[in-house]
Chain A
Amino acid sequence: QKEVEQDPGPLSVPEGAIVSLNCTYSNSAFQYFMWYRQYSRKGPELLMYTYSSGNKEDGRFTAQVDKSSKYISLFIRDSQPSDSATYLCAMKASSASKIIFGSGTRLSIRP
């Protein structure tokens, strides 16, 4: 069983829709949770990060962590075609430990 599971998609939604991307994990030691965005032919770039449980909002993006269910989510409101990319969740147990990446969900926003 992988430490981090992520549905690969692809996920296709119309412009303006609310998008929900999710990951589950098995290691209860994970404390840092990240979402990376990867455009086609580019390297991943950090989109958001959270520490421990709770929500974090940044513009149209909201990251949510539910440690009791070992489940994290990324919500995108008012989705735009420019949001079309692969989104990778990532986690680590401590500031010094290595990052474990999910396999990524490919998202397409239709104009």
Chain B
Amino acid sequence: EAQVTQNPRYLITVTGKKLTVTCSQNMNHEYMSWYRQDPGLGLRQIYYSMNVEVTDKGDVPEGYKVSRKEKRNFPLILESPSPNQTSLYFCASSSLTGLAGAGEQFFGPGTRLTVL
């Protein structure tokens, strides 16, 4: 089954404790992206990657890191989480052709992060 998986689905942590949220896709997509979703603010892009070893900042990159060492994986790293990073996080992927040009992205199920 074609899918984007994220782990963990739920995470409660404390300020300053480094964490990684994993994202993996099995569709051989070149493009991958991380979003955060907050009430009233919609989906905001954190980082994206056009291909292996190619990453770039989105609209809200502060406090986050990413890496793209393999095509299928795109982990999100919070080196020193703070309470304002409490949010619902989504990983997404798409090809660079076809309906991707029209805006089709495939989203993971989300990771709900709480930073105390």
Interface residues of A (CB under 8 A from B): 4, 6, 8, 32, 34, 41-46, 49, 51, 88, 90-92, 95-96, 98-99, 101-104
Contact = CB atoms under 8 A, between A and B. Distances in A.
The 9 closest A-B pairs by CB, nearest first: A43-B107, A95-B101, A103-B42, A101-B43, A34-B103, A101-B42, A49-B102, A46-B104, A44-B107
A88 B110 contact: no
B103 A41 contact: no
14 contacts: A8-B39, A32-B101, A42-B109, A42-B110, A43-B110, A44-B90, A49-B104, A51-B102, A88-B42, A96-B101, A98-B45, A98-B58, A103-B41, A104-B42
Contacts of B99: 46, 49
A95 B92 CA distance: 17
B4 interface: yes
Given A49-B99, A49-B103, A43 B108 contact: yes
Nearest to A8: B40
Interface residues of B, number: 24
B105 interface: yes
Nearest to A4: B42
Interface string B38-51: 01111111001000
A19 to B, nearest CB: 20
A43 B40 contact: no
A100 B83 CA distance: 25
Contact of A90 (B58, B101, B103, B108): B103
Contacts of B109: 41-43
